[in-house]
Chain A
Amino acid sequence: MAAARLRSPVGRAIGLGSAKEGVEHWWLQRVTAVALVPLTLWFVISVVRLSSADIDTVRDWVGRPLPAILLVLLLIAAFWHASLGLQVVIEDYVHTDLAKLGLLIVIRLACFALAVAGVIAVLGIAFGTS
C-alpha cells in the first residue's frame, strides 16, 4: 500500500483529503435529501390543493405559520441540495477551466439569490409587509 505510506499521519487523522473538505459535500447532499423527502411530499399535496387558486387564497395559505415555516425550510433545503448537485454535474461534464469556473460561480450565486428571494417573499406575506 504505497498510497497509505505516502500519506502523512496528520493528513490521515484529519481525514480531509486533497480537496480539504472531507466528506462534507457528500454528507450535506444526503442531509438535505433526507429533509426534502417529507418537505417535497407536503409541498406537492399543498400545490395540488392550491391548483387554480387565486392570489388571496395563495397568500392566506403562505401566510399561515405552518406553511410559512415549511416553505422557508423547503426553499433552503432545495436550493442547498440543487447547488451541491449542479456543482457535481458541472465538475463532471464541463472540461474547459474558464467555463467550469464561471458556471460554478454563477450556479452558486443563482441558488443563493433564488433562495433569498423565495424566503423574503414568504416572510413578507407571513408578516404582512408585502
Chain B
Amino acid sequence: MRSADRPISPHLQIYRWQLTSVLSILHRAAGVWLSVGTIVLVWWLVAAASSPEAFDAVAEFLDSWLGMVLLLGWSVALFYHLCNGIRHLVWDTGHGLDLKSTYLGGWLVLGGTAVLTLIAWGAVIVGWAD
C-alpha cells in the first residue's frame, strides 16, 4: 500500500462515534452553514435599503417552502453554534474538560438548542409582534 492510501486517524468507516466528536464536527458544520446564511441577512438589509420590489423578492423567497426549510436550518444552526460556542468559551477558561463534564455539557447544548428553536418558532407561529 502506498503511504498516501494508508488510513489516517480517525478512519471514518470503522470509527466509533461518540457524542463529543459528533458535536465537535457539528460545531464546524453549523459555522459554515451560518456563514452561508449571512448572505441572506445582507440580501435582506440591502433589499430593504433598495426598493419595495427588491424587498418583496426576499420576502417571497423566505416565505416559500424552500425558504422556510432554510430558515429552520439556520435557526437550529445558530442556536446550536451559540450554545456550543458558550461551551467552548467555558473550556477556554480551563473548566469542564473532564469526560463527565464534556458529556453533560454536550447534552445541555443539545437540550438548549431544542428549547431555543421551539421558543423562537413558537413565537413566530403564534405571531408575537409589537
Interface on A for B, CB 8 Å cutoff? 30, 33-34, 36-37, 40-41, 44, 48-53, 55, 58-59, 62, 71, 75, 78-79, 82, 85-86, 89, 111, 114, 117-118, 120-122, 124-125, 130
Q: Is the interface of B mostly helix, strand, loop or mixed?
A: helix
Task: Give 5 closest A-B pairs by Cβ, nearest first.
Answer: A121-B49, A121-B45, A55-B55, A118-B42, A82-B35
Q: How far is the CA of A79 from the CA of B35 in the complex (A)?
A: 8
Q: How far is the CA of A37 from the CA of B79 in the complex (A)?
A: 10
Q: Are A114 and B39 in contact (CB under 8 A)?
A: yes
Residues of A within 8 A of B32 (CB): 85-86, 89
Interface on B for A, CB 8 Å cutoff? 28, 31-32, 34-35, 38-39, 41-42, 45-46, 48-50, 52, 55-56, 59, 63, 75, 78, 82, 85-86, 88-89, 92, 120, 123-124, 128-130
Residues of B within 8 A of A41 (CB): 82
Q: Are A86 and B120 in contact (CB under 8 A)?
A: no
Of B45, B55, B56, B75, most A-chain CB atoms within 10 Å: B45
**With A118-B45, A121-B48 in contact, is A30–B82 under 8 Å at CB?**
no
